[in-house]
Structure 1
């Protein structure tokens, strides 16, 4: 990131959305090591185009997301590239938490009786933000979970690997096209802690450094070079 133009801290159990412009950058930082950030991406010029988790993993031959990986749309274009990452393993297969899961783990607590201490879930948090843009349940896609490492055992069962938690871990995205970003800081769906986690997340927004010929994301996979070419075609005349 060349410079930081805006900084905010999103408390745990919160949600937010904004439009990131092509050429901008976003750095997420988990100060306590207890955070999870659920995130979705949409094309603000065509909301039918949205983040495609299967393609993002398949074309880059990976199960995790980290530096050098790109986040693809269902049109074969790249919403964003991961240019820096100190956490090393981010989940994009587990989905998001929902009301029944939160109630099962931590009981029921609603906003009407508990105000900001209520137990928010990721599914409803996404829906609140999506509604601001005329989107709803049918527009939800598989999301990214930043700062959540998911491990599998010999039987294929998935679980959060809490040993990966790092206070001060950060991940930086460079936006390769205008992108509507929807995010929440609610618990991961595999979270099993005794207390409802409320990890705050710092968000820095600014201008991305230019792409060079030796760019990590451009060169990490041949498929990424084709993704960047699709973006170039999309932006002709803009």
Structure 2
């Protein structure tokens, strides 16, 4: 069990068959997430392949995270939230400046977390792809626009993923304070790697 502080990054390897559990300790906290084949990081999460395989853009129980080779990386085996975002992206200094004003340029962002944590595994900016945002609520409006609104989570809500192959996971416990994805107050989350339940 690892408590990832507010705004912090985490990474770890999950062996095939083991489960990764994310727990939203305080509620309304977005968790940005990337996953790679642990033995070949050129094989990594692919949003388009995942959308195509499950015929939808939101993730929940039964969703399979597909790779760039159209192979399964992880499967959501339990979800007490109900829907998670795949299209909102990771916050960055550039996107913060564009959306919220130049005064936000110095604020720490998910891309910073991914770059720093990825560097520990030999990854660079070229290895960053479209990410998953667990717990984040990004509805698609009737006119096709995206909203970023209050999350669907609550304290203690979990997402459990089973590794279908050995995977490397990168997490950014989102530091965003300019929109309601974290309730304007980022908080800690728990990450546990464990055996499959009996």
User: Once the 2 structures are TM-superposed, how far is the Cα of residue 109 of structure 1 from its aligned partner?
Assistant: 8.3
User: Once the 2 structures are TM-superposed, how far is the Cα of residue 180 of structure 1 from its aligned partner?
Assistant: 0.6
The TM-score normalised by the length of structure 2 is 0.89
Mapped pair 1:130 → 2:118: yes
Aligned equivalent of 2:190: 202
Distance of 2:145 and 2:24 partners within structure 1: 26
- Structure exhibiting the larger radius of gyration computed from Cα positions: 1
Mapped pair 1:94 → 2:94: no
The TM-score normalised by the length of structure 1 is 0.75
Pick which of 85-94 and 147-156 moved more. Answer: 147-156
- For the 8 Å contact 1:105–1:192, the answer to whether it is kept is no
Deviations 1:24-61 (A, max 9, x none): 11111112112111110111211111000111111111
Q: Structure 2: 5+ residue runs without aligned partners?
A: none
Q: 1:152 to 1:18 in 2, by over 3 A?
A: same
Mapped pair 1:13 → 2:7: yes
Mapped pair 1:51 → 2:39: no
Distance of 2:76 and 2:192 partners within structure 1: 15
Q: Any idea what SS the aligned residue of 2:7 has?
A: coil
Aligned equivalent of 1:234: none
Q: CA RMSD in A?
A: 2.4
Q: Any idea what SS the aligned residue of 2:165 has?
A: coil
Deviations 1:190-217 (A, max 9, x none): 834798431211112211247xxxxxxx
Aligned equivalent of 1:180: 168
Aligned to 1:191, which of 176, 179, 188? 179
Q: Any idea what SS the aligned residue of 1:150 has?
A: coil
Q: Structure 1: 5+ residue runs without aligned partners?
A: 1-6, 111-118, 211-238
Pick which of 164-173 and 43-52 moved more. Answer: 164-173
User: Residues 109-120 of structure 1: matches in 2 within 5 Å?
Assistant: 119-120=107-108
Number of aligned positions between the proteins: 196
Aligned equivalent of 2:142: 154
Distance of 1:159 and 1:33 partners within structure 2: 19
